[in-house]
Chain A
Amino acid sequence: MGTELAKAVVDGVLTGGVYALMAAGLTLIFGVMEIINIAQGILVVLGAYLSYVLEVHFGIDPFLGLFLTIPLMFGLGMAIEWAFIRRLKSQNRTALSILVTFAVAIVIEGILTQFFSADLKTLNAWYIDQSLHIFGFYLPYIYLLGFGLAVVLLAALYVFLYRTRTGFSIRASVQNRTGAELVGIDINRVSGITFGIGVGVTAAGGMVFGATNSFNPNSGYDLISRLLVIVVLGGLGSVGGALIAAVVALVIEDVTAVVWSPVWASTMFFAVLIVVLLVRPNGLFGQQAVRAQ
């Protein structure tokens, strides 16, 4: 039981890292644009399919394929922002964004269903089936590599946000959108890039997801539900919160599967959110409602 528990914790941390990456994109988009991108789930699935196509039809290794899929998804993100999000007027913007991105998600799901049917697919590579034998348990290489990828990309995101001018503009826009515009930050460009980043990371998340799960176009719902929980748990707009929330939630889920039952593990994932919300209505690191003028 002890080793099983330990393994559950490790598994939780590793998969949590990958979810953290995807959730970070989602929460960053909200932080900068006050937009909730419901399509994030199906975009992860799209990322999985892209990696799948590259692997099956062109024999490209999933990790190497990221050099193609990440820029591709980044571009797709910018395109979606330009085509749909930018038009939304400021009144009701957040609510409308949910409807719009939900609609976009449905369209993407429909396209994927047309091209790939509802059959379950999964990615293949040598490191997917094999595990590292360490300290008495087996850690699938893909989990480790996936976690490593997540760490690398999150570090890159950090560097970008804190060490580049564009990153600085993005952070300024998170703090105060109007203020940022007033000092000359091109909010459209910043929005486009942020949305692009938010979607770009789903390429990586999608690849790992596709390698560790079997997926079909319907998998988007489960994904977005989890990502939303993580993002709210961490506090909308807080990237750090999303990271912590992802790891915590995934660990709790995996531990529950071992300690109680796998059936209730996913329910526990959501139950954690409810419990936290009772104590902190806006998530762990969310802004509290302020009594202000």
Chain B
Amino acid sequence: MSVTPPGPPVAAPSGVVADPLATPFFRRARWVVVALALAGAVLFPFIYTNPATTTIAVFTLIYVAASSAWNMFSGYTGYMALGNAVFYGSGAYFLANITTHFNMTGGVGVFAIVPLAGVFAALVAIPVGFIALRARRHTFVVITIAIFFIFQLLAYNLQSLTQGSAGMQTPIPPWTAATYNNYFYAAALIVAVLAIALSWRVRRSRYGLELLSIRDDEDRARGLGVKTGRVKLSAFVLTAFITGMCGAIYAYYLGSIYPPFAFEAIFDLTVALMAFLGGLGTISGPVIGALILEPVQQYLNLHITSGGVALILFGVLFLVVILLFPDGIVPSVAGLLRNFLRKRADPSSSGNAPPTTAASAQTPPVREVTP
């Protein structure tokens, strides 16, 4: 009996066997694309040296990481967490506090605090997750929002830790205007790559299967022995870890943080939107979503001075994305590609079941990025 390695789950009419995207060609093609993207990302700041451009790039990378992290919990388990700004802000304030407390001077050394900030945010996620995850799905969403507002309040009120609305400063690095962004770009790129890699590893693992099973039928998953509470909490903590690191980089980059910026009401909305746009639950979806939306957001911030108009445009943009791209870009494109390739291989069929044999399942498929 042929032992075929696991392949990508594909939406197919019953009986249709071969996933045209599961061939070795596409598998290699995907790795080529990833390698090119990585090379491009590394070289980017050396090609586009304009600080205005690299600033947008830094924010984009931060959101790539944050969105991938958000997707790793909410996209995989289906529990919409809309309070991740809690971890973002926690990481930010952690870095600000440590650098202030130890009188650290600006420089590359401060980046060493970033992973610690991630750990701190992960620790914060444990009680937060414990409280929020015991609730049903819908209540969970609202609890995360409520907890977000609590943290924002705490940021204003816990003066000893956060200096309240006066905000806190982070060290100013001694780098020139020309190279200043590059260091942050590098740090953000590392975190982004880490987030994507983590996303990918989780998706391919049995642990990831459990997360996804929770999304489809949590009770059934529990019935099969999945320790749903533990699984959800650990994914939640992982998300917080990455998000906390993003917040720390953000704080260091800005030079100062204040409660409404560290704990920003639309952070989760933005991050969720990116994941939705790209494709919820996929690996590349949040990345693509962030790559598209963050530059747009930055552009709007820079060029629309009138506050009201910026908000209106923002909101309309969100509505357009959500209502017009309910599945997201990656699954839709993959679907179109599949249909196209199927039609090309067998022009007579519209996806109806060809006679099925074990032979066609023998191509060594790889788990695709599409769910």
Tell me, in angstroms, the Cα distance from A232 to B146 when the chains sit together.
9
B322 touches A100 (CB 8 A): yes
B311 touches A113 (CB 8 A): yes
Q: Which residue of A lies closest to B326 (CB)?
A: A89
Q: Which residue of A lies closest to B159 (CB)?
A: A263
Q: Which of A70-98 contact B (CB under 8 A)?
A: 84, 87, 89, 92, 94-96, 98
The one of A102, A111, A264 that contacts B312, using a Cβ cutoff of 8 Å = A111
Give the contact stretch, choosing among A124-132, A157-165, A168-176, A282-290.
A282-290
Bitwise interface map of A from 262 to 293 toward B, beta carbon under 8 Å scored 1, else 0: 01101100110110011001110011010111
Q: How far is the CB of A76 from chain B (nearest CB, A)?
A: 15
Answer yes or no: A110 CB below 8 A from chain B CBs.
yes
- Residues on B with C-beta less than 8 A from A114 are 306, 308-309, 312
The one of A94, A263, A274, A281 that contacts B141, using a Cβ cutoff of 8 Å = A94
Bitwise interface map of B from 144 to 181 toward A, beta carbon under 8 Å scored 1, else 0: 01110110011001000000000000000000000000
The one of B78, B135, B266 that contacts A106, using a Cβ cutoff of 8 Å = B266
Count of chain B residues with a beta carbon within 8 Å of a chain A beta carbon = 45
A103 touches B312 (CB 8 A): no
- Which one of A94, A103, A267, A283 has the highest number of Cβ atoms from chain B below 10 Å of its Cβ? A103
- Residues on A with C-beta less than 8 A from B137 are 94
Q: Which of A107-124 contact B (CB under 8 A)?
A: 107-115, 118
Q: A106-B266, A110-B312, A266-B153 are in contact. Are A87 and B323 (CB under 8 A)?
A: yes
A106 touches B318 (CB 8 A): yes
- Residues on B with C-beta less than 8 A from A115 are 308
A264 touches B157 (CB 8 A): yes
Give the contact stretch, choosing among B53-61, B101-109, B269-277.
B269-277
Tell me, in angstroms, the Cα distance from A95 to B136 when the chains sit together.
13
- Residues on A with C-beta less than 8 A from B306 are 114
Answer yes or no: B265 CB below 8 A from chain A CBs.
yes
A104 touches B319 (CB 8 A): yes
The one of B139, B150, B276, B308 that contacts A286, using a Cβ cutoff of 8 Å = B139
Answer yes or no: A213 CB below 8 A from chain B CBs.
no
Q: Which residue of B lies closest to A91 (CB)?
A: B326
Q: How far is the CB of A244 from chain B (nearest CB, A)?
A: 17
- Residues on B with C-beta less than 8 A from A277 are 131, 134-135, 143
A221 touches B265 (CB 8 A): yes
Tell me, in angstroms, the Cα distance from A236 to B146 when the chains sit together.
13
Q: Which residue of B lies closest to A232 (CB)?
A: B142
Answer yes or no: A36 CB below 8 A from chain B CBs.
yes
- Residues on B with C-beta less than 8 A from A102 are 266, 269, 318
Answer yes or no: B347 CB below 8 A from chain A CBs.
no
Q: A221-B265, A282-B135 are in contact. Are A274 and B314 (CB under 8 A)?
A: no
Taking Cβ atoms with an 8 Å cutoff, the residues of B that contact A are: 78, 80, 82, 131, 134-139, 141-143, 145-147, 149-150, 153-154, 157, 219, 265-266, 269, 272-273, 276, 280, 306-316, 318-319, 322-323, 326
What are 9 A-B pairs with beta-carbon distances under 8 A? A95-B141, A106-B315, A225-B145, A225-B149, A236-B139, A266-B153, A277-B143, A282-B139, A286-B136
